[in-house]
């Protein structure tokens, strides 16, 4: 990321009925600068922790890097691609886990979500079984693979979602991880 800015515009509404028409023709807008002149370089093989207080722009940064949002100005590059311009190729090579969203089927066992993703992502059965064994052991998923997603704690859901993202990795990455 180089010189990245992200500004949101939030329409302000009055609680008073008398202001309804006024707001219709002259809406009040609040400018929110989520990111201002952010430079971030992460080199291949580096592991980075991105921490800060609420409202510091952490989620916005991740959304820019995962092509969910486009920057207001500046440039974003990852894996040698522009996440917005090369979106289809780019998103096929990344996985992102947001705490408030899950890829798990709410009323199904966790194992059903994994099997569904295998079909959607067209992962060969043998490779799927090797990778599943790897992520189950790595993340300690065995204790709740047969539990309904809605019954899991936030931490368990996060581990299951992370496991799904690890399963999504590129074929050559999956081979390297799964042996």
Residues 168 and 121 in one domain: yes
Q: What CATH number does residue 37 fall under?
A: 3.40.50.300
Q: Which domain holds residue 171?
A: 110-178
Q: Mind listing the pLDDT tens digit for each residue in 24-73? A: 777 788 999 999 999 999 998 888 888 888 889 999 999 999 999 999 99
Q: How far apart are CA 57 and CA 35, in angstroms?
A: 6
pLDDT attached to residue 109 = 97
Q: Mind listing the pLDDT tens digit for each residue in 109-151? A: 999 999 999 998 888 999 999 999 999 999 999 999 999 999 9
Q: How confident is the model at residue 92 (pLDDT cuts 50, 70, 90)?
A: confident
pLDDT surpassing 60 at residue 12: yes
pTM for this entry: 0.66
Q: How far apart are CA 16 and CA 158, in angstroms?
A: 42
Q: How confident is the model at residue 169 (pLDDT cuts 50, 70, 90)?
A: low
pLDDT surpassing 90 at residue 100: no
Q: How far apart are CA 91 and CA 68, in angstroms?
A: 10
Residues 64 and 120 in one domain: no
Number of domains in the chain: 2
pLDDT surpassing 80 at residue 171: no
Residues 159 and 83 in one domain: no
Tell which wins on pLDDT, 22 or 109. Answer: 109
Is 105 a domain residue?
Answer: no
């Amino acid at each position: 990321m180089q010189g990245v800015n992200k500004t949101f515009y939030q329409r302000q509404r009055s609680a008073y009925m008398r202001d309804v028409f006024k707001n219709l023709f002259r809406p009040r807008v609040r400018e929110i600068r989520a990111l201002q002149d952010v430079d971030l370089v992460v080199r291949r093989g580096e592991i980075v922790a991105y921490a800060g207080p609420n409202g510091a722009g952490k989620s916005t940064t991740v959304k820019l890097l995962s092509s969910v949002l486009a920057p207001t100005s500046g440039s974003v590059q990852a894996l040698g691609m522009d996440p917005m311009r090369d979106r289809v190729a780019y998103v096929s090579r990344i996985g992102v886990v947001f705490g408030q969203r899950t890829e798990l089927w709410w009323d199904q066992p966790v194992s059903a979500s994994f099997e569904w993703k295998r079909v959607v992502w067209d992962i060969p059965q043998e490779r799927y079984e090797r990778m599943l064994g790897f992520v189950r052991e790595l993340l300690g998923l065995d204790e709740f693979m047969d539990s309904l997603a809605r019954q899991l704690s936030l931490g368990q859901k996060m581990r299951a979602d992370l496991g799904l993202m690890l399963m999504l990795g590129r074929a050559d990455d999956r081979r390297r991880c799964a042996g």
